[in-house]
Structure 1
Amino acid sequence: MRIIFWLVLLAIIGGLAWIRLAPSDPAVWHVDPQVTADQDLASGVRRRLPGSETTLRALHGIILQTPRTEVVAGDPSEGRVTYVTRSLWMGFPDYTTIQLEDGSVEIYARLRFGQSDQGVNRARVLGWMNALNAQD
């Protein structure tokens, strides 16, 4: 019985380590957001707002101020950037891609692990959009 306890504990610790340390493959996450309309999804959110390269750069600056957020791939000068934002305690990664497309800035934020993000990505993206509007 004691061995089972330690095996289960080891499996839990290994799973948590994988969540925190799993690599972020740009080939998987740095993709076209394909935002055709605003959508609230169980696993994330899609938003589209009017904008230019200036808007994309401003949003990039706002996103980089978000705690535990870093660039996975891209740059505003390329027209697309993907970020990973990790939760405070468990380090769960959420990926957000922003892209300039036909006079609009597309935003696609989604989780990596699980079935539902409990609205975390929606709240984060709306916060970014509010900060962007406050700059105008």
Structure 2
Amino acid sequence: MKRAVTILALGLAVVVAADGWVRLAPIDPARFDVDGLAKAPGDHPETGGFQAVRDVSDPPAQMAALDKIIRGTARTKRVAGSADEGYAAYVTRSALWGFPDVTTLWIEGDTLQIRGHLVYGKSDLGVNEARIKGWLDEVGL
């Protein structure tokens, strides 16, 4: 019985430590870099993420509207840039474990580029695509 309690306590300690690491570990700023990532208008699924590109008539105004929606999303924080700069990066964390997803939003010519991708693992299970498409629908893009 004592051995089972010890094993259970050690298992719980490992889970708590892993959760703390996922929530508190710094995210490499290179994950916010968008150099060379611009794509043609359309939807572009990626391994572990998703990128959407929209032709827009007024990129700064439409980026500002999208930035406002993104900042209003639960568990999402802007970590770099701003709509005024034409580039912004955000981190959205999952509700249960706090796994981070990085989203970058930027203006490239007459397009608005938005890319979301996971930080840990290999599959985001379509979460970034659903989140990005929801934001775009909400702003009317």
TM-score for the superposition, normalised by structure 2: 0.85
Q: Which one of the candidate residues 24, 32, 49 is aligned to 2:34?
A: 32
Verify: 1:47 aligned to 2:52, yes or no: yes
Question: What SS does the corresponding residue of 2:140 show, helix, strand or coil?
Answer: helix
> Per-residue deviation at 1:24?
2.9
> Per-residue deviation at 1:5?
4.6
Q: Which one of the candidate residues 71, 84, 90 is aligned to 2:78?
A: 71
Larger Rg computed on CA atoms: 2
1:24–1:72 Cα contact (<8 Å) kept:
no
Paired letter, 1:43 = G
Inter-partner Cα distance in structure 2 for 1:101 and 1:131: 21
Paired letter, 1:54 = A
Deviates more, 1:38-47 or 1:97-106: 38-47
Q: Which one of the candidate residues 97, 107, 111 is aligned to 2:118?
A: 111
Question: What SS does the corresponding residue of 1:71 show, helix, strand or coil?
Answer: strand
Q: Which one of the candidate residues 87, 92, 103 is aligned to 1:96?
A: 103
Give 2:15's aligned residue.
12
> Per-residue deviation at 1:4?
5.0
Is there any run of 5+ residues in structure 1 with no aligned partner, and where?
Answer: none
Q: Which one of the candidate residues 99, 120, 136 is aligned to 1:129?
A: 136
